[in-house]
């Protein structure tokens, strides 16, 4: 980060200030400003890839899903991964329990492609959660 900083004013409701202060304390931030800068970096990155930034992005798509015995969810997940193999560089599959699995897909591509992958995975019956973390 540049040595130069610009001061701005921020107006928040009291409950948000209280929550911010709890996080600053919990995560041992040096200041509110440092915590807000970190939050804004994530906000900017999310905006960049969600707004169809044609630039290259790297990150992960984490999928929490049911381990549905006797269904084709596993085949449908694999099919999507094979169709988007140019985007996906690595996959890790973890058995969390008898009935639940998690897959982490490492991705390298445009925001549009990453968003399409996430949305296709979200639409599958048996998928409980999809979380995307990307950077430029």
Model pLDDT for residues 55-89, shown as the tens digit of each residue? 788 999 999 999 876 788 999 999 999 999 999 99
Number of residues in the chain? 136
User: Based on the domain organization, do 24 and 70 belong to the same domain?
Assistant: no
User: Based on the domain organization, do 46 and 97 belong to the same domain?
Assistant: no
Residue 18 predicted with pLDDT over 90: yes
Note the pLDDT of residue 14: 95
Domain that holds residue 35: 14-50
User: Based on the domain organization, do 129 and 106 belong to the same domain?
Assistant: yes
Note the pLDDT of residue 92: 97
Residue at 3 is within a domain: no
Note the pLDDT of residue 28: 96
**If you average pLDDT over residues 104-122, what whole number do you get?**
93
Q: How far apart are CA 109 and CA 42, in angstroms?
A: 18
As given in the structure block, the two tokens for residue 29 are 């931030």
- What pTM was estimated for this model as a whole? 0.70
User: Based on the domain organization, do 83 and 116 belong to the same domain?
Assistant: yes
As given in the structure block, the two tokens for residue 12 are 């928040």
User: Based on the domain organization, do 61 and 24 belong to the same domain?
Assistant: no
- Residue the block writes with tokens 């006797």: 70
């Amino acid at each position: 980060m540049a040595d130069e900083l610009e001061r701005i004013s921020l107006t928040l409701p009291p409950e948000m200030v209280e929550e911010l202060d709890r996080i600053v304390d919990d995560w041992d931030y040096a200041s509110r400003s440092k915590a807000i800068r970190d939050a804004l970096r994530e906000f900017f990155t999310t905006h960049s890839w969600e707004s169809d930034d044609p630039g290259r992005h790297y990150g992960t798509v984490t999928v929490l899903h049911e381990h549905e015995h006797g269904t084709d969810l596993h085949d449908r997940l694999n099919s999507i991964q094979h169709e988007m193999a140019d985007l996906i560089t690595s996959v890790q599959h973890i058995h969390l329990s008898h009935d639940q699995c998690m897959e982490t897909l490492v991705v390298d591509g445009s925001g549009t492609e990453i968003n399409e992958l996430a949305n296709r995975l979200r639409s599958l019956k048996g998928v409980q959660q999809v979380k995307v973390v990307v950077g430029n």
